Structure 1
Amino acid sequence: MSFFRYPDGRDEPSVGPMSRVAVVTGATQGLGLALAEGLAQRLSTADTVYLTGRDVDRVRQAVDAMPAGGARVRGEIFDVGEPDSAARFAGLVRERHGGVDIVFGNAVMRVGPDDDPRVIIRPYTEVNNFGTTRLLRAFAPLVRDHGSLIVVASSLGTLHHLAPVLHSRFDGLTTLDEVDEQVAAWRDAVEDGSARAGAWPGFVNIPSKIAQVAAVRALATQRRDTDLARGILLAAVCPGMINTPTSALWWDVRDAPSPAQAATALLDLVLEPVKPEHYGELVRFGQVVPFKPETGHP
């Protein structure tokens, strides 16, 4: 099911071989919505932005609310928590456009302070983690020269926030299958209660974000040379604290940037020339956030 907002009132804008295609998951609210709107405003009328989400009404409303001008906005139903959805949607994009230029993996299941981790951990990892690795598998082969494949993560996604005894779970992984195996083992430990007796943090967002960054790093080990030769950026990004209702459940965000303000640095990252030092890393405000603590200091 598709919903459209065309830039100039025509039934179908002209789309040529140089037209760019962008995909944003989790785009019906917050940062995802701001990313879709920002891309629509900063790309040309020949380009297409896919605003995706899992709820039909919210996708339609988000597309209808897009400001006029800029790229065509095309709303599509895409639930990253469904096992076959990423491959299916990637196939649709390939059939329509032949490839993709910008992908923001932003879909997330939110967790609140009152949620029982044992109850929510299975659907939570299905969206946040397995949804991420499915997206990477499906869209990495479609990214065109000078394109970007970005996973929205967090500065919590580093080994600094995990007990040293657990670092080996996510450090040095070289395939997405290995990442999925570690996520499944952690999920099962949370679900059966054994994680509470170990070194795992009670805040499930920490291992989840670490696994997202580990997934980017694992895929980067396989694609680095080819991607950099083609000017492609694969990275995780931290948008910083954002003033949203969900963040407000955990922190005082009254002085934090709005989603639109937070989106600016992410849009700059994908629309400006690629910096090789960003490849395969977690990037925050244009700077690399080290994944693991430095060693060897006296």
Structure 2
Amino acid sequence: MTITLVTGATQGLGLALAQGLAQRLEPTDTVYLTGRDLSKITAAVQAVPGGGAQVRGELLDVAAPNAAADLAKQIEERHGGIDIVFGNAVMRIGPDDNPREIIDDYTEVNNFGTTRLLKAFAPLLNDNGRLLVVASSLGTLHHLAPILHKRFTEPSSLDELDEQIANWRDAVKEGRTSAWPAFVNIPSKIGQVAAVRILASQHDYLARGILVAAVCPGMINTPTSALWWDVSTAPTPAQAAEALLDLALKPVKPQHYGELVRFGEVVPFS
């Protein structure tokens, strides 16, 4: 019996990941399709084709401080552990959004939500499990001024990284961003990749066949992406999900451990 979970799964890539897992797994397996809107969760579960794994909708707002830990406890009580976790919950930002006005909610979902998910579900991973955080190729130090690199390379724990993210958040709110990129997605994605790297370095999960990694799905044809770029020829969410599902279900490649992986290849952090 395989137990899996996808956050941010009511639309786009998250829904495609949940659907893909359900199709590739067996009727005795379970896919937890999660989101923060019950009506959207219900509609998403109903949209999954039958014949594969059981799809179970669950409320999970990763921005709520205890939500990930509470759901992890429930899953542990029901199943004893978990096999695959996709961290895909994201608050998107549009070209007209003012970073100073949205940065609190943005970091709560994208960054603190990621570290909460890692803390809650990493201890539950069964042997040969997967813990994959959907990030971006923007999540590398190449996109950041060198003076800021140590903010993401020196923390040795997720709590220390959270402190750095909070410092950046406060700098954005107060307009103290001379060295930071104007596009807040860049530090946020770097923070997500850094979180994965820290977790992987803290534990030898690979010895148990567990893959902990950040994943980049590449450009996807979604309404949000279309606000920023021409995505008319980009893959659909279902197409973009294929490489991520392969990473979750095929044998582990040790070189992927703790790294950002795009289309099966490691994207160097620095």
Q: Which residue, out of 205, 227, 232, partners 2:210?
A: 232
AA of the residue aligned to 2:181: P
Q: Measure, in 1, the Cα distance between the counterparts of 2:52 and 2:41.
A: 19
Match for residue 219 of structure 1?
199
Match for residue 204 of structure 1?
184
> What is the count of residue pairs matched by the alignment?
270
Q: Measure, in 1, the Cα distance between the counterparts of 2:233 and 2:253.
A: 30
**What are the residue-to-residue correspondences of 1:59-98 with 2, within 5 Å?**
59-98=41-80
Cα deviations across residues 245-295 of structure 1 (Å, max 9, x unaligned)? 000000000000000000000000010011111000000000000000xxx
CA positional deviation for 1:174: 1.8
Q: Measure, in 2, the Cα distance between the counterparts of 1:133 and 1:203.
A: 21
Judge conservation of contact 1:26–1:107 (CA < 8 Å) in 2. Answer: yes
Q: Are 2:243 and 1:260 equivalent residues in the alignment?
A: no
Q: What is the DSSP-based 3-state SS (H/G/I as helix, E as strand, rest coil) of the residue aligned with 2:64?
A: coil
Match for residue 86 of structure 2?
104
Q: Measure, in 1, the Cα distance between the counterparts of 2:128 and 2:17.
A: 19
Q: Which residue, out of 131, 144, 150, partners 1:149?
A: 131
Q: What is the DSSP-based 3-state SS (H/G/I as helix, E as strand, rest coil) of the residue aligned with 1:199?
A: coil
CA positional deviation for 1:220: 0.9
CA positional deviation for 1:172: 3.7
AA of the residue aligned to 1:284: R
TM-score, with normalisation over the residues of structure 2? 0.99
Q: Are 2:55 and 1:48 equivalent residues in the alignment?
A: no
Q: What is the DSSP-based 3-state SS (H/G/I as helix, E as strand, rest coil) of the residue aligned with 1:148?
A: strand
Q: Measure, in 2, the Cα distance between the counterparts of 1:228 and 1:36.
A: 25
Q: Which runs of 5+ in 1 are unaligned?
A: 1-18, 293-298
Q: Are 2:112 and 1:130 equivalent residues in the alignment?
A: yes
TM-score, with normalisation over the residues of structure 1? 0.90
AA of the residue aligned to 1:45: P
Cα deviations across residues 121-140 of structure 1 (Å, max 9, x unaligned)? 00000000000000000000
Larger Rg: 1 or 2?
1
Q: Give identity over the alignment, percent.
A: 73
Cα deviations across residues 22-54 of structure 1 (Å, max 9, x unaligned)? 000000000000000000000011000000000
Q: Are 2:257 and 1:275 equivalent residues in the alignment?
A: no
AA of the residue aligned to 2:202: Q
Cα deviations across residues 123-169 of structure 1 (Å, max 9, x unaligned)? 00000000000000000000000010000000000000001111111
Q: Measure, in 1, the Cα distance between the counterparts of 2:263 and 2:164.
A: 29
Judge conservation of contact 1:63–1:73 (CA < 8 Å) in 2. Answer: yes
CA positional deviation for 1:65: 1.1
**What are the residue-to-residue correspondences of 1:149-188 with 2, within 5 Å?**
149-188=131-170
AA of the residue aligned to 1:214: A
Cα deviations across residues 70-101 of structure 1 (Å, max 9, x unaligned)? 10000011000100101001001101100000
Judge conservation of contact 1:238–1:284 (CA < 8 Å) in 2. Answer: yes
CA positional deviation for 1:173: 2.6
Q: Which runs of 5+ in 2 are unaligned?
A: none
What is the alpha-carbon root mean square deviation over aligned residues?
A: 0.6
AA of the residue aligned to 2:219: M
Match for residue 247 of structure 1?
225
Q: Measure, in 1, the Cα distance between the counterparts of 2:247 and 2:17.
A: 12
Q: Measure, in 1, the Cα distance between the counterparts of 2:157 and 2:200.
A: 9
Judge conservation of contact 1:174–1:217 (CA < 8 Å) in 2. Answer: no
Judge conservation of contact 1:213–1:236 (CA < 8 Å) in 2. Answer: yes
AA of the residue aligned to 2:221: N
Q: Measure, in 2, the Cα distance between the counterparts of 1:61 and 1:46.
A: 22
